A and B are shown apart, each in its own frame.
Chain A
Amino acid sequence: MKKLKKSLYIIPLALVSLISVIPFYFIISMATHDTGEIYRGEFLVFGTKLMSNLKTIIDGGFLRYYWNSLYTALVSTVVCLAVSLMASYALTVYKFRMRGLISGFIVTSMMIPGQISLLGYTVEMRNLGLINTHWPLIFTWAASAYSVYFISQFMKSSLPMELVESARIDGCGEMRTFINIAVPMVKPAIGTQFMLVFLWSWNNFLMPSTVLTDSRKFTIPLGIQTLATAYTQDWGARGAALAIAVLPMLIIFACGSKYFIKGLAAGAVKG
């Protein structure tokens, strides 16, 4: 009886899950067919044209977008984590008069929609001569209120003040206490934030499309957009491009889903 009930629970969940993955199946399938086959509607099962579609995409320079996205996202993430860790350390370890106020300010600023600064930011970058470089995409992550909030919450609960005190008594400088004691204690939070910021940077479309016009500098989302006009007649190539743009990320995140899901949920449930 109980088993029957459980399987009844599974039905709606399975149905929603199926709808969640069907589009991905559809892209993979498209990537394995040529345009003619797709027009005839033969894409419910996989075809054999994967290699030729991939070749079209790679010849079209899609790997370059990949590299641009990869290193921009990596640098952004490292910068964001370094800045956020330092700020979190200041807000957790030191007791100073404005601490409550500053923490409150950072939490409140999380709610401000980022689009309000977009236009001014683009013009600022233009004035600095940074159009068609990847700097604007990196700078935008330097001050992430969400990362500071998340890491300092974690630090509060997992960094014992006695440890910091004893390190100081042993003659450990502030900088070394921070790097050798505090940072290792919040590794799980760093892992979570690493995945999230990397993902957000990787997915970003609006910002790069205002500061990048040179297609050699394009990141993956801009590359995907150019596909719409570049291969108007080659549906298989478009499918292949989408597949290689989307699937590796999904696989990496599915493997790290433990940390990642925790990070997404923790921010919301505590806030």
Chain B
Amino acid sequence: MKSKSGKKMMWKWPVLFLAPYFISYFLFFVYPTIYSFFISLTDWDTVMGIASRKFVGLANYVKIFTKDKLFFKSLGNTFSFMIIYIPILILGGIALAVLLYKLTKTRRLFQTINVLPYITTPVAIGMIFSFMFDWSTGIVNNILLKTGLIQEGINWLGKPFTARLVVIFLIVWKNLGYYLLIYLAALSTVPEDIQEAAMVDGANKWQTFWKITFPYLRPITVFLILTSIISGFQLFDEPYLLFSNMNSVLGGPDRSCMTSMMYFFDSTFKSSTKLGYGAAVSYTIFVIILVVSGIVSKIINRKED
């Protein structure tokens, strides 16, 4: 009898303390996630109302893979951004961290300055960059013209190629400080005596870094690559606002900077209200994220052997 009530006691408190978390998790994440999937099997359009909603099976998914060129274009754009900016961020982050690691006095100052872009409201960043790269009033053209590097203003946001460059520059500008910070923290876990021993044994700096230091940075690099892929597929705020000026097309010239999240958001909530189709798009993006990060982590882990 006594042991039974003791057992009850043991269960009661952890359940009570965990309840708010799991109730919220279920109500505000699990349920809407399942509900999204259910919606994706219907032809629900907000304008038409819930009454005319019909179950259409996998028709939305079939349409995405057979007819929706714009979705694949947005997916391709997202990929092409990631393939360029992730290596820049990884290598740049490591290089800057290695440099800053040696400077003990100014470390905090440089860290703080460089993390500022990372904590700035993303929407504001998009708008700031749309001002800076504006064709007629932007500071970038202004400086380039004044220094004589160019003869006439470049229409940065008006051409697909340069618009993409601006988006990539924006992402690197925003995130480099974060990568620097993470690698700086990771460098402090590398035991210094091993590095010194390698130097004494005649290894040069380059060898010491790749053979001794880098293996310690490996797990964190894997983490950063995977989280960058996951967040890369959700890229939205900055490019969305970058092209919010007056008469720009959504996603920039020739939709060259439309990301898959932008496509999802626009077709579900803005220019059309096809909830059913939008839900199918978001599930497709989700599956692609799973597949891509699965493949990437396989590749990275195979290299390790």
Q: Give residues in A with beta carbon < 8 Å to B.
A: 6, 9-10, 12-13, 16-17, 19-21, 23-24, 26-27, 30, 38-39, 41, 43-44, 82-84, 86-87, 89-91, 94, 96, 99, 102, 109, 111, 113-124, 139-140, 142-143, 148, 174, 178, 199, 202-203, 205-206, 209-210, 220-221, 224-225, 227-229, 232, 235, 238-239, 242, 245-246, 249-250, 253-254, 257-258, 260-261, 264-266, 268-269, 271
Contacts and interface: CB of A to CB of B under 8 A. Distances in A.
Contacts of B185: 265-266, 268-269
B268 A119 contact: yes
Interface residues of B, number: 95
A203 B238 CA distance: 12
A24 B31 CA distance: 41
B106 to A, nearest CB: 8
A43 B13 contact: no
Contacts of A205: 121-123, 236-237
A253 B114 CA distance: 12
Given A82-B20, A257-B112, A224 B173 contact: no
Main secondary structure of the interface of B (DSSP, over half): helix
Given A41-B142, A205-B123, A205-B237, A142 B28 contact: yes
B148 interface: no
B119 A242 contact: no
Contact of A121 (B10, B32, B230): B32
Interface in B258-282: 261, 264-265, 268-269, 275, 278-279, 282
Given A23-B125, A140-B28, A210-B265, 15 more contacts: A23-B132, A24-B116, A39-B136, A87-B21, A96-B14, A114-B29, A115-B285, A120-B31, A123-B32, A123-B35, A206-B237, A249-B121, A261-B112, A268-B185, A268-B220
A143 B275 contact: no
21 contacts: A17-B113, A20-B116, A24-B116, A38-B137, A86-B18, A87-B20, A94-B14, A96-B14, A114-B234, A118-B36, A119-B268, A120-B35, A210-B265, A224-B127, A235-B131, A242-B128, A249-B121, A254-B112, A257-B112, A260-B119, A269-B185
